[in-house]
Chains A and B, each alone.
Chain A
Amino acid sequence: MEALSFLADGVLVALEPLNLVLILIGVTVGLFIGAMPGLGSVNGVAILLPITFLVPPGSAIIFLAAIYYGAMYGGAISSVTMGIPGASTAVATTFDGRPLALQGRASLALVTAAIASFVGGTVANVLFTLFAPLLATMALSFGPPEIFALMLLAFATFVGLGGDDIPKTIFSICLGLVLATVGFDTISGEPRLVLFEIDGFLRGIGFIVLAIGVYGIGEMLWTIEQTRGEVTTTNPKMTFKGMVADTKEAVRRGWKGTWIGSILGFFVGVLPAAGATPGSLMSYGVAKMVSKNPEEYGKGTPDGVAAPEAANNSASTGSMLPMLTLGIPGSPTTAILLGGMVIWGLTPGPRLFVDQSEFVWGLIGSFYISNIAALLINLAFIPLFVWMLRMPFTILAPLIFVLSIVGGFAASRSMHDLWLIVIFGLAAFFLRKFDYPLAPAVLAIVLGPIAEPTMRQSLLLSSGDPTIFFTRPIAGPITVVAIILILLPAIKLLRRKRSERAA
Chain B
Amino acid sequence: MKLTKRFFLGMAAGTALATLPIAALAQDWQPKRPIDFTIMAGPGGGADQIARFVQSVVEANDMTNRPLIPTNRGGGSGAESLLHLKDARDPDHTLMVTLNSFYTTPIRQEGLGVDVEAFTPITMMGVDPFVLWVHKDSGITTFEDYIAKVKEMDGEYVMGGTGTGQEDSIVIAYMSGAYDLKIKYIPYDGGGAVAKDLAGQQIMATVNNPAEAKGFYEAGEFVPLLAFSDERMDAYPDVPTMKEKGHDFSYYNQRAIVGAPGMSDEAAAYYRDVFGKVYEGADWQEYLASESLSPLPMDEAQTRAYWATQVANHRKLLSEIGG
**How far does the alpha carbon of A202 sit from the alpha carbon of B43 in the complex, in Å?**
18
Asked whether any CB of chain A lies closer than 8 Å to the CB of B10, the reply is no
**How far does the alpha carbon of A351 sit from the alpha carbon of B220 in the complex, in Å?**
10
Of B73-81, B143-151, B309-317, the one touching chain A: B73-81
Nearest residue (CB) in A for B194 is A328
Within 8 A of A (CB), among B48-84: 48-49, 52-53, 55-56, 59-60, 70-71, 73, 75-77, 79-80, 83
Known pairs A184-B75, A339-B48, A453-B189; A49 contacts B56 (CB<8 A): yes
Q: Are A457 and B187 in contact (CB under 8 A)?
A: yes
Asked whether any CB of chain A lies closer than 8 Å to the CB of B18, the reply is no
Question: Of B43, B108, B197, B200, which is within 8 A of A46 by CB?
Answer: B43
List B contacts of A339 (CB < 8 A).
43-44, 48-49, 52-53
A473 CB to closest chain B CB (Å) equals 13
Asked whether any CB of chain B lies closer than 8 Å to the CB of A477, the reply is no
Of A31-39, A230-238, A280-288, A330-338, the one touching chain B: A330-338
**How far does the alpha carbon of A346 sit from the alpha carbon of B111 in the complex, in Å?**
42
Asked whether any CB of chain B lies closer than 8 Å to the CB of A383, the reply is no
Q: Are A457 and B188 in contact (CB under 8 A)?
A: yes
Asked whether any CB of chain B lies closer than 8 Å to the CB of A461, the reply is yes
List A contacts of B42 (CB < 8 A).
332, 335
List A contacts of B195 (CB < 8 A).
327-328
Asked whether any CB of chain B lies closer than 8 Å to the CB of A3, the reply is no
Asked whether any CB of chain B lies closer than 8 Å to the CB of A143, the reply is yes
Residue with the highest number of chain B CB atoms closer than 10 Å, among A140, A189, A350 = A189
**How far does the alpha carbon of A223 sit from the alpha carbon of B174 in the complex, in Å?**
60
Total residues of chain B contacting the partner, CB 8 A: 56
Q: Are A199 and B49 in contact (CB under 8 A)?
A: no
Within 8 A of B (CB), among A264-318: 272-273
Question: Of A54, A183, A189, A347, which is within 8 A of B218 by CB?
Answer: A347
Q: Are B216 and A327 in contact (CB under 8 A)?
A: yes
Q: Are A191 and B59 in contact (CB under 8 A)?
A: no
Asked whether any CB of chain A lies closer than 8 Å to the CB of B9, the reply is no
Within 8 A of B (CB), among A164-201: 183-184, 186-189, 191, 197, 199
Total residues of chain A contacting the partner, CB 8 A: 54
A86 CB to closest chain B CB (Å) equals 20
A396 CB to closest chain B CB (Å) equals 31
Q: Are B215 and A347 in contact (CB under 8 A)?
A: yes
List A contacts of B111 (CB < 8 A).
197
Asked whether any CB of chain B lies closer than 8 Å to the CB of A142, the reply is yes
Asked whether any CB of chain B lies closer than 8 Å to the CB of A65, the reply is no
Q: Are B202 and A189 in contact (CB under 8 A)?
A: no
Asked whether any CB of chain A lies closer than 8 Å to the CB of B12, the reply is no
**How far does the alpha carbon of A326 sit from the alpha carbon of B201 in the complex, in Å?**
14
Asked whether any CB of chain A lies closer than 8 Å to the CB of B22, the reply is no
Nearest residue (CB) in A for B166 is A189
Q: Are A184 and B193 in contact (CB under 8 A)?
A: no
List B contacts of A334 (CB < 8 A).
44
Q: Are A351 and B164 in contact (CB under 8 A)?
A: no
Residue with the highest number of chain A CB atoms closer than 10 Å, among B164, B165, B215 = B215
B274 CB to closest chain A CB (Å) equals 15
- 17 new A-B contacts, CB < 8 A, other than A186-B189, A343-B56, A352-B215, are A50-B60, A51-B59, A140-B196, A142-B200, A184-B75, A184-B77, A186-B163, A189-B323, A326-B196, A329-B44, A332-B42, A335-B48, A339-B44, A340-B52, A348-B215, A349-B214, A349-B216
State the B residues within 8 Å of A (CB): 42-45, 48-49, 52-53, 55-56, 59-60, 70-71, 73, 75-77, 79-80, 83, 108-109, 111-112, 158, 163-166, 184-189, 192-193, 195-197, 199-202, 211, 214-216, 218-219, 221, 286, 290-291, 323
Chain A to chain B: the 5 pairs with minimum beta-carbon distance, closest first: A349-B215, A335-B44, A203-B75, A143-B202, A140-B200
A selection of 15 A-B contacts at a CB cut-off of 8 Å is A46-B43, A143-B197, A143-B202, A186-B187, A191-B79, A191-B109, A203-B73, A328-B193, A335-B48, A339-B48, A339-B49, A339-B53, A342-B211, A343-B53, A413-B71
